[in-house]
Amino acid sequence: MSLLDPPGTRDEATVELEPAEPARLEPASQGLYVSLLGRFGVQVDGVSLSLRGDRRRALLATLLLNTGRVVSTDDLIARVWDTPGQAARGTLQVHIARARALFEQHLGAPLIQGADGGYRIDLDHHRSDLLLFRALAGRADLAAARGETDTHADLLSHALRLWRGPVLADVAAPLLHTQDVPRLNEELLRVAERGFDAALARGEHERVAASIGPIAADHPEREPLIRVQMIALYRAGRQSEALRVYARARSVLAERLGANPGRELQETFHGILRGDLDSRLGLRSRAEGVVWPGAALRSAAPPVALRSTTPEPGTTDPGTTGSGTAVPRQRAHPDTKPCAARRGPEPATGPATCLIPAELPAAPRTLVGRADTLAEIDRLVDPCSPVPGSVLVRGPAGAGSSALAVRWAHSVATHFPDGQLYVNLRGPDGGPLHPADVLGRLVRSLSAGTANPRNPDSADPDRGFTEPDEAAARVRSLMAGRRVLLVLDNAATAHQVRPLLPGTPGSSAVVASRHWLADLLIRDGLRAVPVDALPQAHAVALLRSLLGSGRCPPHALRRIAELAGGLPLALRMAVAWLDAHPEHPAAELVRLVERADPAHGVSPTARMAAVLRAGPLGSGTAAGKYRPGSEPRS
């Protein structure tokens, strides 16, 4: 357990946070002064004391970090020695005696006091940067309670200037850094978020943007802090930097926590991307009864599936701030239909509503060995950018290019708040769909729910299209000013894809195909992401993750992976056969696949499909036979 009290708790030994004389809220210039909020140091009359030895420094840092509290001998030993021996207690007393002698020499007092079962140090708050930090934060809370917002902001700013970097980074004490320092870091970060919030409320955007950078860089997974940094950069006119901060935070959260950014951080990203962040915050703060601007930074609102271009009664237009200042934002194309916020039924004469499409099919539950490919798609598209790119994900039949495209699309869906469209470009008969058929569907998806009760023809948004070019133009018009992700699966030719690509920045297309559509790469600027078969180690790992450990012997798994050619679709077929026939061992599946018709050009996926159709004994009419066109889609 940490020796530090949770922030905000008090006992008889805690430093008093009631108002003190203003002169006492400054670091001591004479006598003793201790530095803990950064590199460790002890000064007497402005001269640093030489604190030699890692163990003595760890001992003093532990006592000073817990000023006003008794630290037991056992806790001190645990923090001074990684693996204390039998002589640790006696050696600790020697270190205590030498530290007392050092303070006696320079201060005229030993400073370290013996107590029941341990030791303690008592200091006035102006003699320690940590105690002074807490005193200033306490005074700031009192000022906020009295409504003195300027005093509140000034005191927090004064407190934050005492935080000089990573706490006690130069003290070698592992247990101190795993148990005590994290609690203190949490306290510091909470005060920092309040302080920067208060500074933003006073319009000090440039100062916050400059000051928050080092702290946010040390804590990139701290979403409230990152959010404040993005707002400060945006208001300082540095939109691209704010978007890069979000991209870094998103990457860190995915790598360290396996999670996407939270709702509030995503909403901030969307507001910056569209250029209407301040109007969003202003509208939200008024709706929630917030009386000072800084509070809007901490407000929460549910994700909006339907947006509004008509302001609520009593609010300003979404394109302006509360002061009436125009806020730059993306302009929607005239053909783009307005979307009303989810406020309940609209009157018949009210604005039309627009259902945001979310058409992505379910993502595969298990994906093995594709982390680098997903990261490459992320890099090439850059979904956090105001102008994301488009990519071609290409792989042979069964390699899983479709699964990769869909999995990636799910992971970035929140970055395309105007919708995610999915189209399988392969028709029911296995042939490619004509672009005209697809364009009509896209028009319907992008126009869903926009029927005007006073215009019955608007219920059929693609009525009257006689030329594919006209339908393509309508799709581009509907996507203009929106941020839409389009997933085009099983593409056969560049001619099939080109009319479907977004025509304006902000939207992105991910094309999955078995073919190198070189014309798209050359003429349309798509970037290519190749998808190959899995190496045997990853193929075996996929089988084991789907079958469970111990289901099949290792040699059988390796042989199945080899017969499947490392193709994820063929591997999943093998799992399906084993699940459907639990009474048969994996060796039986190996035997059936090995004797399947090895006709020239037959892929491992087709051979596995033939065995899967034939049944457990391979006696069906389709046993070992390959039928052209029988390969399932990847």
pLDDT tens by residue, 191-234 = 999 999 999 988 999 999 999 998 998 888 999 999 999 999 99
pLDDT at 607: 84
* Contacting residues for 109 by C-beta, under 8 A, at least 6 apart: 103
Among 430, 446, 605, 425, smallest CA distance to 520 is for 425
Q: Which two tokens mark 245? A: 């901060």
Q: Can you say whether residue 458 is alpha, beta or left, with left for phi > 0 and alpha for psi between -120 and 50 degrees?
A: alpha
pLDDT of amino acid 318: 35
| CA 592 distance to own-chain centroid | 46
What percent of the chain is predicted at pLDDT more than 90? Answer: 37
Nearest to 304 by CA among 363, 355, 352, 350: 355
Lowest mean pLDDT segment, chosen from 71-85, 254-268, 433-447, 605-619? 605-619
The tokens describing 564, both together, are: 């499947």
Q: Is residue 171 within 8 Å of 150, Cβ to Cβ?
A: no
φ, ψ dihedrals at 297, nearest 5°: -70, -20
Beta-carbon contacts of 174 under 8 Å, excluding residues fewer than 6 positions away, are 82
3 state DSSP class of 516: coil
Which residue, chain included where needed, has tokens 């215009």? 455
Q: Which residue, 282, 283, 509, 278, is CA-closest to 416? A: 509
What is residue 112's DSSP assignment?
Answer: E
Single-letter amino acid, residue 381: V
Q: Tokens 């992976």 appear where?
A: 561
The whole-angstrom separation of Cα 492 and Cα 434 is: 11
Q: Classify burial at 235, counting beta carbons within 10 Å of its beta carbon; exposed 0-12, middle 13-18, buried 19 or more.
A: buried
Which tens digits make up the pLDDT trace of 598-623? Answer: 554 478 888 888 888 876 655 444 44
Task: Determine the Cα–Cα distance for residues 610 and 624; give it in Å rounded to an integer.
Answer: 6
Q: How confident is the model at residue 280 (pLDDT cuts 50, 70, 90)?
A: low
Check residue 339 and give its pLDDT.
Answer: 41
DSSP assignment letter at 452: B
Q: How far apart are alpha carbons 502 and 500 in whole angstroms?
A: 7
pLDDT value for 131: 94
Residue that is written with structure tokens 């014309």 in the block: 519
Q: Are 154 and 97 in contact, with CB atoms under 8 Å apart?
A: no
Helix axes 181-201, 223-235, angle to 10 degrees: 30
Q: How far apart are CA 285 and CA 300, in angstroms?
A: 10
* Token couple for 621: 């009419």
Q: Which of 419, 414, 375, 409 is nearest to 487 (CA)?
A: 409
Say if residues 450 and 477 touch (Cβ distance below 8 Å): no
**What is 117-151 written as a DSSP string?**
TEEEE---GGGBHHHHHHHHHHHHHHHHHTT-HHH
3-state secondary structure at position 288: coil
Q: What percent of the chain has pLDDT over 70?
A: 78
* pLDDT confidence of residue 347: 39
Please tell me what DSSP assigns to residue 298.
G
Examine the pLDDT at 310 and tell me if it is beyond 90. Answer: no
Q: Which of 313-327, 400-414, 610-624 has the highest mean pLDDT?
A: 400-414
Contact 452, 388 (CB under 8 A): no
Q: Poorest-confidence range of 61-75, 173-187, 196-210, 327-341?
A: 327-341
For the range 479-482, what are the long-range contacts, defined as Cβ-Cβ under 8 Å and sequence gap of 24 or more?
479/446, 479/503, 479/504, 479/507, 480/332, 480/333, 480/335, 480/336, 480/504, 481/330, 481/331, 481/332, 481/333, 481/336, 481/506, 482/332, 482/336, 482/418, 482/419, 482/446, 482/506, 482/507
β partners of residue 508: 485
- What is the bridge-based pairing of β-strands 420-424 and 485-491? parallel
The values of phi and psi at residue 487, to 5°, are -105, 115
Kindly provide the residue ranges of all beta strands, DSSP E only, lying in 279-365, ordered along the sequence: none
Amino acid at 377: I
Q: Decide: 368 and 540 in contact? Cβ < 8 Å.
A: no
What letter does residue 166 receive in the DSSP assignment?
S
pLDDT above 50 (res 311) = no
Strand (E) positions, 465-608?
485-491, 508-513, 527-530
pLDDT at 70 over 50: yes
Who's near 111: CB < 8 A, 6+ residues apart? 32, 99, 100, 103, 121
The owner of tokens 């208060």 is 198
Sheet of 485-491: strands edge to edge?
Answer: 420-424, 485-491, 508-513, 391-394, 527-530
Main-chain phi, psi angles of 485, to 5 degrees: -105, 125
Tokens of 235: 């208001």
Alpha carbons 227 and 266: distance in angstroms, whole number: 9
Q: Give the whole-angstrom CA distance, residue 61 versus residue 39.
A: 11
For the ranges 115-129, 171-185, 453-467, the lowest mean pLDDT is seen at 453-467
Sheet holding 47-48, edge to edge: 32-35, 41-44, 47-48
